[in-house]
A = this chain, B = another copy of it.
């Protein structure tokens, strides 16, 4: 891994992951290449299918090589099975390229559970991190925020949440460009006495810590779309449900709007007049814009794209990976955790501990 280099970045792509792979993957890579002229790609997958698609894309062909395998992980494969039997799969071989240093990061639109299991097994967690987390960004009233964990860890202890807060803040610096992101811990109320023991203990620790951001305290569900904080920290069970509830609610309101504009001739005419404005709104709310979930806490940058996305969405997932490599994300996490470790020992010593 050469995360601190500022050019000549190599990206491993699981060319067979995603509903419309490999075409969608190649089209996305081509789009990303336009935005990042100094990147090159390793396309891992079935050469017989990739080769003709690559031949049609000159720009991409000029900066991509194929690593052949005819094995691919399916979407319904159990993570444990994928881990045991998927050593020759496009997903696994793309991850291996990061472990060996041949690539700087890997992007896959394949099976999330399998990707997490393999990435954890191959890349290992960063020192000071017990469990990796899935993070993503989403639109808010005030711009964009980041939330983690989105489903990698169904049960979390206070240590996990504290580590997520540190990683989330550095992720916020890298992808949102905030110098000191504000960090909130998701809870059922803003008052200190609310919530379960895990969030209370995590909150106490975060209050005492020197973080790469500002700890805001507890936030509630409505604070997520309000954008009250830059980074929302929670366990994978709650985070997954909150994210999907938000997506579903947006879809519900969108459907109501569609019905409203079709409910009368006047409403239809009104829509025609407002059409341009709505086009802008759609762009802002476009889920492809927020595609690219990062597996934080691994010794290597691994980004998961939605399986159902298109080339534009996949290109955005590649953007996230490029941002993280360019910003030396993992190096920053290591530094912060080292500092926390030192401080932790200092505190323990000051309190008469070891």
**A: which residues have CB within 8 A of B?**
78, 139-141, 151, 154-155, 186, 188, 193, 195-196, 220-226, 234, 236-238, 240-257, 260-261, 263-264, 266-267, 269-278, 280-281, 284-285
Contact = CB atoms under 8 A, between A and B. Distances in A.
Given A221-B240, A241-B186, A246-B249, A267 B260 contact: no
A65 B128 CA distance: 65
B222 A247 contact: yes
Contact of A237 (B188, B245, B252, B271): B188
A141 B220 CA distance: 24
A186 B285 CA distance: 26
B240 A188 contact: yes
A273 B264 CA distance: 10
Given A237-B238, A269-B273, A154 B249 contact: no
Contacts of A281: 256-257, 260
B267 A248 contact: no
B267 A273 contact: yes
Contact of A225 (B222, B225, B251): B251
5 contacts: A188-B240, A225-B249, A249-B249, A256-B281, A257-B257
A110 to B, nearest CB: 16
Nearest to A245: B221
A198 to B, nearest CB: 10
A222 B251 contact: yes
B274 A267 contact: yes
Given A221-B243, A242-B241, A264 B277 contact: yes
A249 B245 CA distance: 9
Contacts of A225: 245, 248-249, 251-252
Contact of A271 (B186, B263, B274): B274
A43 to B, nearest CB: 30
Contact of A250 (B223, B243, B249, B284): B249
A251 B264 CA distance: 25
Nearest to A254: B253
A52 to B, nearest CB: 36
B249 A220 contact: no
Contact of A261 (B261, B267, B277): B277
Given A196-B237, A221-B245, A221-B246, 13 more contacts: A140-B252, A141-B251, A154-B195, A221-B240, A225-B248, A238-B241, A249-B253, A250-B253, A260-B277, A267-B274, A267-B277, A267-B278, A270-B270
B274 A247 contact: no
Given A256-B284, A281-B257, A251 B226 contact: yes
B238 A226 contact: no
A285 B252 CA distance: 10
A285 B257 CA distance: 11
A244 B245 CA distance: 10
Nearest to A262: B277
A188 B276 contact: no
A223 B221 CA distance: 17
Contacts of A243: 221
